[in-house]
Amino acid sequence: MVQGECNCGAIAFEVDAELNDVFICHCSICRRATGSNGIAVVVVEKQLFSWIRGEHEMVTWKKPAADWQIWFCRICGSPVPGINDESRMFIPAGLITTGGDALAVVHHIWVGSKARWDRICDDGQCHETAYQE
């Protein structure tokens, strides 16, 4: 069981699974949304994910004219888990507080769009665009 929460603790969640793979998106949209080199996420099946508290504290922003949105805590502004597609959730890896000991970066996506100052120094596989299974 993995648990996590936003910076202020208003939003909390759990995942009924062992988590291993971290994906880091380096696209310009994720950089602007986080103010960093991108966002590190874990992707899980929706049926394994549940809210502990605070789902009503979530707000979302959808990029106009794009199929992209981000969810965040309305109180502290932390990015929080959101829908990846109809069957999966993405969880910002930095929110995980309990469990997740086996997490490791396995994929860097949209590295063709990464910031010039961003240096990738781990063993994760790099993809110029989206990850293709």
| 22 occurs within a structural domain | yes
| 59 occurs within a structural domain | yes
SS3 133: coil
For residue 117, give its domain range: 2-126
Taking only the tens place, the pLDDT of each residue in 7-44 is: 999 999 999 999 999 999 998 888 988 889 999 999 99
| Count of domains observed in the chain | 1
* CATH number, residue 15: 2.170.150.70
| 112 occurs within a structural domain | yes
- Candidates 123, 116, 121, 112; CA nearest to 25 is 112
pTM comes to 0.88
| 41 occurs within a structural domain | yes
- Candidates 45, 7, 20; CA nearest to 99 is 20
| 69 occurs within a structural domain | yes
Taking only the tens place, the pLDDT of each residue in 44-97 is: 999 999 999 999 999 998 877 777 788 999 999 999 999 878 889 999 999 999
| 43 occurs within a structural domain | yes
| 105 occurs within a structural domain | yes
| 133 occurs within a structural domain | no
